[in-house]
Amino acid sequence: MTIALSDTDVRVCEACWASPVTSSRPAADGQRDLLCGDCADANAPRRVDLFPPLGIYGLSARRIEMGKHGSGSPKMPPDPGPPLPNPPPTPTPGRPPV
């Protein structure tokens, strides 16, 4: 059986990522899963969605709502290091500050 693949379709099985695509099955989201014969016979699930509904791998709607700092504002690191000198050192002419 020959599967018609478009230019944007993957050529490697979406379940094992090792064998070439020889089979397809309808997916729940109206798309199709492109699988090798062994994975299709075993009814293996896809291992990853390359282009989920938001279009970016690994980005979910929850992460978008949370933002970068989901637990509030940024916090200081556990060890901020030594305090800065007070008063700041005066620059030496002709040499960059160390």
pLDDT at 56: 54
Mean pLDDT of 36-53: 79
Tell whether the model's pLDDT for residue 5 goes beyond 60: yes
Helix, coil or strand: residue 37: helix
Percent of the chain with pLDDT over 90: 11
Query: If 0-12 CB within 10 Å is exposed, 13-18 middle and 19+ buried, where does residue 36 land?
Result: buried
Tell whether the model's pLDDT for residue 49 goes beyond 80: no
Tell whether the model's pLDDT for residue 57 goes beyond 60: no
How far is 42 from 81, CA to CA, in rounded Å?
A: 56
Of residues 11, 9, 37, 6, the one with CA closest to residue 23: 37
Mean pLDDT of 38-66: 66
Of residues 16, 19, 25, 12, the one with CA closest to residue 47: 16
pTM, to two decimals: 0.48
Average pLDDT, the chain: 75
Percent of the chain with pLDDT over 70: 66
Alpha-carbon 75 to chain mean position: 25
pLDDT at 22: 92
